[in-house]
Structure 1
Amino acid sequence: MNDRDTALAPGPDDAAMLSALRELNLPDRLLQVLLAQAPDHAGEALLDYVGDLTRAGRIDQARRVLEVLRAYPPAPDDRQYASIELVRLLHHSGEEQAVAEAERITAELLSPGGLGAGPAELLAEDLEARGELADALRCLNLASRDLLAEPPEDLEGLEARYLTALIRRSRVRAQLGMELDAHDEVAVASARRLLAETYGDVGEGETRTEGSEPDRDAEVLFSRQAFDDARTRGLLPHEVAEHGADAYYRAAERNLREQSSERPETRWSVVLHGVAEIEAFAEHTGMDAGDRATALSWSEGEIAAHDPRLVPWPPQRNEACWCGSTRKYKKCCGSPSNR
């Protein structure tokens, strides 16, 4: 081990991780990046590389890197994040044995002590997309544990960005048919306040003059968790299905930029939806579930102005990307390379 190795590998587990990664014949540039990273950033660099492999269609190699990260996590949460990403890849493969392995890993994550708050919120997103709402709620209860320990009145007035887990918890509880509790009411009020600020609603004591309502529009897209199902069901155009989810969202980002430049006064949002709600809407209305107009009609009829599913666009550069990749916006759809 050379002197630079100590930046990543002060202990035997990190040395073992480096050794295992070298056996995968990873690019020298990646190993150099890892050697220069502090332990708490090395896992993030590897997860970014896994994203690159996945976008390139090198799924087997991505899975091998994730297995190494699971076996030798340089920081405590890295094993959990790697496990969640591996579960996604296994589910997307559709292979019976792979799906069974994904379920085993998920059960491991859901076991007592298996999840930290950050990974729990991320896993909840996937579980909700798969319709596993009870387990999603378990994760969101864990992710918002510190917030739930606070009296609801102490949380009133907090910005929505500090309450994301609580807001998602309220949404899942609503889907399960549960009555709002006091923390749900705080979460919903915070989400509504964010949307009101984003869309320029009038403040207290003001009156809106006729014609002053800001123009609003939304890009309506399948969620990342629903993309493969939508592709399998033929709900995506051939050219979109062929190039994959990342190309789908990057193209949407470019369209949003173009539309925003042409209509600078319009306040834009993104709505990510699943397959079930679009198919149900199409069946009810007699429309084609694969027609973009159907999703737009669904959004116009089902998504109210203060719906938490409306994600303001664009996010701040250091915030999570709107597409659900878990990467920062500036490193994902908001990257300068996506022009």
Structure 2
Amino acid sequence: MSSKRRTGGKNSRSKRAPGSRHTPALRPSSPPSPLDHAHAARECEKQAERHPEDREELLLEAADAWSDVGEYDRAVAVYERLLDPAGGGCEEPDLVDAYRIGVLWDAGQDEAARAAATTFRRRHPGHAGAWNFVAETFEAGNETAAAAEWFTAGITHALGAGTAVTVGSVEADPHHYDVEMLVIGRHRVRRLLGEPHDDWDEVADALHERRAAPFLGRVTPLDEMHDPLRLMRMAEGVPEGLEAAIEALPDELRGGNRPPRMPLTSTGVLYWPPEEFTRFLARWPRAADDYGSDHADHRRQVERTLRKLSEEGATRLTVGRATVSGLEAHAKAAGGSPDTPGTRSAYAAELARRGQVVEWPPPRNGSCWCGSERKYKKCCGNPVDG
């Protein structure tokens, strides 16, 4: 079974101590090999001993790397180190335990995973992100009915048993994004099960409509997005499914002659890849105040900015991969200075207009927007990095 590291986790805390000089994430620009993963895992475990202020983040990186290389027992052992209070424990044990359950599934240790999940549930944790992770683990294992139960239980535990599940109660929750993902995940698996709509599904529809980016004035309903036949056809590349999806697009996107009803706008955020980030700060060092002083901080800042914009209701969010030469060319053409936030914002808007951006957030199992070629859920979309 594939790991189900979430795309969400917007409200999880960053594990990196402010001002830390250590950069634990080892993310090569080319796809890492098994040897790269094993080396990264060992190095992170060593660094955890040397940098106790970053211990939790480093050990989480190590466990993830061991899992990626198929060394599931070693990954589980690292998670158990984090869960052991005698060894220092961790800030979010419920989330770490959810990761451990996912790795047990990946290892094919189904009974151990079920037992760990049962123990998790008996604790009645309130961490919405952890509940979502475990629910998605069951969903990935094709245990759809069990996943529906987990999503439902997660909502109840996150909001409180006596709280009515409404759009207002979800949005008022301090961790509303994670709760929203539980509500929408429940809708998804119930749709797969053929269950009739209930009140909570109506809430999912309303939340989706409020958050989704309108596509030329039309928001695709959740029922349509979660239609089992459509998902199967699109995932498998069945020609009929692709043709139907293309046919459903507005005429102007299929080459028709109808005038556009409204412009397709987006909100873009600049991301500087590692080499460009180094050049950028060397040229304009004051920009470190806006973009961070090292690249790991910069990636986290971009992800946090996108999440904040999403929570504030911004639609069609995108990431533009910035270059120093591109910024300079834009500044020259526009008559501005590259060393000002206004020029850089205009440069981001220009990249979006030209389509030189990637949509955010990526699919759960899609490649991360940062270009690491890791899955988003295991890279910038990892809750512990948020």
TM-score, with structure 1 as normaliser: 0.49
TM-score, with structure 2 as normaliser: 0.44
